[in-house]
Amino acid sequence: MQDKTIAFIGVSLGRQQFQSLMCMATGGEVSPEVEDIGREYDLVKHRGSIRLDGWVYRFPKTNTTILYYWSSTLADLVPINITDPTTDAAMHLDRLPAFMRKNLHRFDVLVLNTGHHWNRGKLRANRWVMYVNGKPIEDEGLADLANAKNFTVYSVTRWLDSQLSSHPRLKVFFRTISPRHFLNGDWNSGGSCDNTTPLTGGSEVVQDKSSDEVIEGAVRRTRVKLLDITALSELRDEGHISRYSVKATQGVNDCLHWCLHGIPDTWNELLAAQV
């Protein structure tokens, strides 16, 4: 990856893969020579923002850049009324995030992911209104979130495939969904993942097809590559943060995100082998 840029764009599990790669690249040690170049990508905390939208770091010795950008649905989010700080946001299912479109020419490897934010609770909480063709959706089929997700994933994949001829050095990967392991409830209803023994449910992936049929179908007959991590991660239910988060709330377990070092390191080993 000398003189290369690798970009992770997606949900917080994409952030974990980014964090894993940063740890692997630094050997888990503090590296003062690594440069924070977020400003070059306008990834700074703007007035009124709750958090940064991502991070970018450059390793000067090899001129390698590793970045993460948060985009939970891979749809472009635009305030409906830019003068109103409490406005809803148009969630354009047929348009990639502006950050990705603007910076695509800077990437050598792009790793996408989405999945767990496609639920009504997330849309309501974030005040996202689904749009297609520049206006609120009128197709009743797209009102179903499973269909809306599929539409977006296929739209993103087709657009990126159409761009690869004009970006010949770019390799694009769509990572399949990371599995959850909640038992006896969900994250907000007492669900837990208390197993501490690896591979209690088996140690082999023997299926020929991906467990994530949506992503597998979207990349088929395109030049976008499949980074299939679902089935192998399914075997590692003991690898989640569980109740051991530094920000843990009594009775709430995290059986979605992973301990680091941990399973996302394997995702990056698979990515490196494909690159």
Smallest CA-to-CA distance from 171 within 219, 216, 225 is with 225
pLDDT of residue 23: 96
Contact 43, 147 (CB under 8 A): no
Give residue 233's pLDDT band: very low, low, confident or very high (50, 70, 90).
very high
pLDDT of residue 155: 98
Give residue 85's pLDDT band: very low, low, confident or very high (50, 70, 90).
confident
Q: What are phi and psi of 236, to 5 degrees?
A: -115, 55
Q: Is 18 helix (H, G, I), strand (E, B) or coil?
A: helix
pLDDT exceeding 70 applies to what percent of the chain?
99
pLDDT digit string, tens, across residues 168-198: 999 999 999 999 999 999 888 889 999 999 9
DSSP structure class, residue 180: P
pLDDT of residue 188: 83
Give residue 124's pLDDT band: very low, low, confident or very high (50, 70, 90).
very high
Contact 255, 180 (CB under 8 A): yes
What number is the average pLDDT over the span 215-221?
98
What number is the average pLDDT over the span 216-229?
98
What number is the average pLDDT over the span 216-232?
98
For residue 50, pLDDT beyond 80: no
For residue 207, pLDDT beyond 80: yes
Q: How far apart are CA 186 and CA 56, in angstroms?
A: 33
pLDDT of residue 51: 80
For residue 49, pLDDT beyond 80: no
Give residue 101's pLDDT band: very low, low, confident or very high (50, 70, 90).
very high
What number is the average pLDDT over the span 74-98?
95
List Cα–Cα distances, 89 to 53, 85, 130, in angstroms. 16, 10, 9
pLDDT of residue 128: 96
Per-domain boundaries in the chain: 5-180+217-232+264-273
